[in-house]
Structure 1
């Protein structure tokens, strides 16, 4: 098929789509459906069959009345569907559907009795016939129940179709707003990393430039790598564990200079997990920074931080060595990680505390 043929097909599809979605087509379809129902319903009124030769005009008036009233009641069903949807929107889907069907069943009584009355009046005034009135006044099975069943079939199907159409649009809109809200929250959480880490690094560099030019140059190089990572991954919700570990090497270089090799870090992570597993950017860095902030250490007695993979998690553990003057905890670090995990994957981190060790279990997110 050539490009021009595809273009013609697309134009025809759009044209047909506009036709089928137009109000004119919608109302014509309703008229045809109602007219067909009126023909079927005439079989309930035996006078149409017994008086075949003189009932053509009467038959058409019957159908005209049925179609006219049906169109009005159809619009009423749409209005009722909207009202019910707004009134019980916060309930469960099954409850909303039950309320809608119940409302339609009750609403169906109105056109059933109204049509029976109008038809009876028309039959008396135009044809001087009383069969319809006798059926209506006696609330007969044929007239009232038959009309009720036909109208309810139309109204219920139409109401359910409209309801699910509205529900689908609502769900799409809700999901779009939810995603936008999640992304905004995630961006806000991620941006907390930049200033917090940046000012700590500048503080160390200020002191370092007076001691060693070469070491200062190496420090600046590693700091540049870190910020290259932060800038490159700023708009990514997840990164591979291997990428995070590469970033962590540069971070640990800065930490070793800042704390004079009094922090020791080890990792036992399966190579396949490194390549395929993902976590939110800077998660490990924030956990290590948290351990450094809340524990005492020295060059003679370094703080040990260990990361290992186990049963779908990364376990980040460190010794507990409470400082004589506890650091003021803002809770931002762990809370940041917790919320980013919830927003990115719906999973939660686990925290285990004891007098000897502090462990944070962070889920490994697989694509």
Structure 2
């Protein structure tokens, strides 16, 4: 039985440990798959952002190249002409005349702060008949020209060598200092920054310009977006994650279910074995108790017949009642307190015949409300018999026994005067039988001890 208990506990422990192990396994596998998805998403998104940034930078550079060609043609035509002719050439170009301005190289415009008037000097000088002219670009008009139609998925900024905006998707920022972006992550070429324009994280790439804005920086920014293709790939990976989790979960639940079935089977087998062993022990104890009781009862009857035949008849009736109860086939092993009290009263009558005035009547304190509660079968009779068998008592010091109910338990008490004979030191079957009944139903509280000069036994009510 101990081996079966150990096996059941072992399986329970394995079943208990299997759950956190399975959860950790699920978390590990899920974490690995999510990490793969995250790494793949980051790689694809970074590649996409680089491509968009490069495309935008190329488009801007191409636009500047076209403007450079127009400006070069205009400069060639304007060389050596008078002021009016140069203005007429500029008027003929429907694009350049919208944002280009001419001014004498030595005029006050040369020293004016372009950040206030937003007229930025380009690195070109026209030698006219009236003297040298400088080419200025009106940044307000230039920005308006470039930002008609929006910036698409990316936008760009042009930052002067002294770190001021020459072009910006927000016209109010032109001429203002380029703020320091909050850098989140860097690698060899790219910078992930917090865009002040979009208030989003964006990939920023910078290249140096030549021509119109010599030595200025073209900074292309692309918000961290995801394309439809990458979304589909993420969806596929997520489906793979879900299938993986489903397979692992089903396998894990099957293992738990099989282990639970095994534990339940072991518990059933253990319960059946415990029941069989308890039944066998009960039968063995009853076989051991019955001859002993019959021997003592017949000895008392023999003495009584010679003294009082009427009393002997009552003795036989009581003995028959007690013996019938002891031989009754009750597989449950439990009986009501009311039945056990009736049995112990009949049994005590037999002992009064045998010991006469050396036994005091039993003191009962039993509330009627508990009479239907149960205690192990034959337990009260066994304890009274033990008190008579193991206690020293005489006519001068008669045996007093109390049977009282206190706090959901029956107390059987007698004065502790142990009989020091070989007969009193043998047996112990009665207490073993009662203890086994309580162990079988897993009801705690059965105990016995010497307390204040009394031997006290505690029988929990069921």
Q: Give the SS at the match of 2:241.
A: helix
Deviation of the 1:216 alpha carbon = 3.9
- The CA distance in 2 between the partners of 1:307 and 1:355, in whole Å, is 17
Task: Give the one of 358, 369, 381 matched to 1:272.
Answer: 369
Task: Give the one of 18, 27, 33 matched to 1:96.
Answer: 18
Task: Choose between structure 1 and 2: higher helix proportion.
Answer: 1
Deviation of the 1:98 alpha carbon = 2.2
Q: Which moved more, 1:321-330 or 1:302-311?
A: 321-330
Say what the alpha-carbon RMSD is for the aligned residues: 3.3
Residues 152-301 of structure 1 mapped to structure 2, 5 A cutoff: 152-191=244-283, 192-206=285-299, 208-209=301-302, 211-212=304-305, 213-232=309-328, 234-264=330-360, 265-274=362-371, 276-301=372-397
Matched, 1:342 2:439: yes
Deviation of the 1:357 alpha carbon = 0.8
Residue 461 of structure 2 corresponds to: 364
The question of whether the paired residues in 2 share the 8 Å contact of 1:89 and 1:96 is answered with no
Deviation of the 1:321 alpha carbon = 1.6
- The CA distance in 1 between the partners of 2:300 and 2:378, in whole Å, is 25
Deviation of the 1:282 alpha carbon = 0.8
Q: Give the SS at the match of 1:307.
A: strand
Q: Residues 328, 259 of structure 1: CA spacing in aligned structure 2 closer, same or farther, 3 A cutoff? A: same
Q: Give the SS at the match of 1:346.
A: coil
- How many corresponding residue pairs? 250
Residues 92-171 of structure 1 mapped to structure 2, 5 A cutoff: 93-102=15-24, 146=238, 149-171=241-263
Q: Give the SS at the match of 2:333.
A: coil
The question of whether the paired residues in 2 share the 8 Å contact of 1:338 and 1:348 is answered with no
Please give the TM-score of this superposition, normalised by the length of structure 2: 0.48
Task: Give the one of 332, 351, 365 matched to 2:448.
Answer: 351
Q: Residues 229, 153 of structure 1: CA spacing in aligned structure 2 closer, same or farther, 3 A cutoff? A: same
Gapped regions of structure 1 (runs ≥ 5)? 1-85, 110-140
Q: Give the SS at the match of 1:303.
A: coil
Q: Give the SS at the match of 1:285.
A: helix
Deviation of the 1:310 alpha carbon = 0.9
Gapped regions of structure 2 (runs ≥ 5)? 1-7, 32-232
Task: Choose between structure 1 and 2: higher strand proportion.
Answer: 2
The question of whether the paired residues in 1 share the 8 Å contact of 2:402 and 2:413 is answered with yes
- The CA distance in 2 between the partners of 1:324 and 1:170, in whole Å, is 52
The question of whether the paired residues in 2 share the 8 Å contact of 1:108 and 1:155 is answered with no
Q: Give the SS at the match of 1:362.
A: strand
The question of whether the paired residues in 2 share the 8 Å contact of 1:241 and 1:278 is answered with yes
What do residues 209-246 of structure 1 show as CA deviations (whole Å, max 9, x unaligned)?
36515444333322221232233353123211001111
- The CA distance in 2 between the partners of 1:210 and 1:239, in whole Å, is 33
